[in-house]
């Protein structure tokens, strides 16, 4: 086992490269399946990427993107895109609001999807004028006992309470983490980016450090790695491995699925209690050098990375 200081020095170098190396853990002597992310001693906040971490963080390659003629003012912009660009919501949610009749263009309610906003049009959402605003990107290391919502009717602490005063713009969580799940959470008013990070077709990778109530058996390890059926369909881990020093009760799991409480349900299906669940990686972002309950703005490099889709 290497000294933690060695991991920290490597992590500092990785962080200095603008988070290009997203690998949060590493170890050589662990049992792993499908080559994925290695964890060591559960030091999620202190142990960033390593050279022997072999998950498939690859640039998206393929044919050169098709060129298209620049949009002219006469073409306008689709209403759902306009609302998303203003940071109100994602395009999918915008379609719901449009059909609900809460959006107006030049004083007239618009319910038809595909309607375009032309230069000079005045758009209102719930009778408030919609104005484009600067895009804000906040990375939070979410603590336990915090709800991932903009407002909680039960009066519980929310992620918005933690970042209160960070900016004048209204930002929203990208995806959800359970109240007692900790770790990487992005908040932004960029609806376009939110769509790309949450829509199932983009398959954004998530890595979790899981603390179980009892050691994970090798039989269940293999079943989870190879896939099995839950109530809502087939599921499998993209990578799974034991955390060194965790006595079989700590595992790292890499997964793309965004189904509700999916990591908890995977292990609860086999009778394991979840004592602690920590998301250490999301779409290229890690919580390295970000203490629990703290937040920071993304760097320009990180924003460019997210928009380019460089990481899964």
Retrieve residue 77's tokens: 């912009």
d(CA 163, CA 174): 14
* Residues pairing with 296 in the sheet: 139
Q: Do β-strands 206-212 and 274-282 pair in parallel, antiparallel, or remain unpaired?
A: antiparallel
Pick from 242, 237, 208: nearest CA to 225: 237
**List 21, 45, 178, 222, catalytic entry:** 178
What is the DSSP track for 6-21? HHHHHHHHHHHTTS--
Q: Do β-strands 103-105 and 108-109 pair in parallel, antiparallel, or remain unpaired?
A: antiparallel
d(CA 129, CA 196): 26
> 290, 138 in Cβ contact below 8 A?
no
Pick from 175, 194, 195: nearest CA to 185: 175
Provide long-range contacts, Cβ within 8 A and 24+ apart, for 76-81: 76/116, 76/117, 76/118, 76/119, 76/121, 77/116, 77/117, 78/114, 78/115, 78/116, 78/117, 79/103, 79/105, 79/110, 79/113, 79/114, 79/115, 79/116, 79/117, 79/123, 80/113, 81/192
The angle formed by the CA atoms of residues 87, 204 and 226, to the nearest 5 degrees, is 150
**95 included as an active-site residue:** no
Rounded to 10°, the helix 191-198/300-308 angle is 60
Q: Which residues are catalytic?
A: 178
């Amino acid at each position: 086992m290497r000294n933690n200081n060695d991991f920290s020095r490597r992590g500092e170098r990785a962080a200095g490269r603008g988070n290009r190396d997203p690998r949060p853990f590493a170890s050589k002597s662990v049992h792993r399946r499908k080559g994925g992310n290695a964890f060591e001693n559960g030091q999620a906040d202190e142990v960033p990427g390593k050279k022997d971490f072999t998950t498939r963080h690859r640039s998206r390659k393929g044919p050169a993107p098709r060129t298209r003629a620049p949009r002219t003012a006469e073409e306008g912009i689709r209403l759902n895109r306009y609302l998303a660009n203003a940071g109100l919501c994602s395009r999918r949610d915008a379609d719901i609001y449009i059909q609900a009749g809460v959006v107006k263009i030049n004083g007239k309610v618009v319910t038809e999807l595909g309607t375009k906003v032309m230069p000079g049009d005045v758009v209102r959402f719930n009778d408030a004028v919609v104005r484009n605003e600067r895009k804000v990107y906040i990375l939070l290391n979410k603590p336990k006992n915090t709800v991932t919502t903009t407002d909680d009717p039960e009066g519980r602490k929310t992620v918005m309470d933690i970042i209160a005063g960070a900016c004048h713009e209204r930002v929203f969580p990208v995806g959800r983490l359970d109240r007692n799940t900790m770790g990487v959470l992005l908040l932004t008013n960029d609806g376009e980016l939110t769509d790309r990070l949450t829509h199932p077709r983009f398959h954004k990778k998530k890595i979790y450090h899981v603390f179980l109530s009892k050691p994970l058996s090798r039989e269940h390890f293999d079943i989870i790695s190879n896939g099995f059926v839950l109530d809502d369909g087939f599921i499998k881990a993209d990578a799974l491995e034991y955390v060194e020093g965790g006595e079989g009760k700590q595992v790292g799991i890499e997964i793309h699925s965004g189904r509700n409480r999916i990591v908890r349900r995977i292990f609860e299906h086999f009778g394991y209690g979840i004592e602690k669940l920590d998301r250490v990686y999301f779409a290229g972002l890690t919580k390295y050098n970000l203490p629990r309950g703290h937040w920071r703005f993304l760097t320009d490099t990180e924003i460019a990375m997210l928009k380019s889709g460089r990481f899964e």
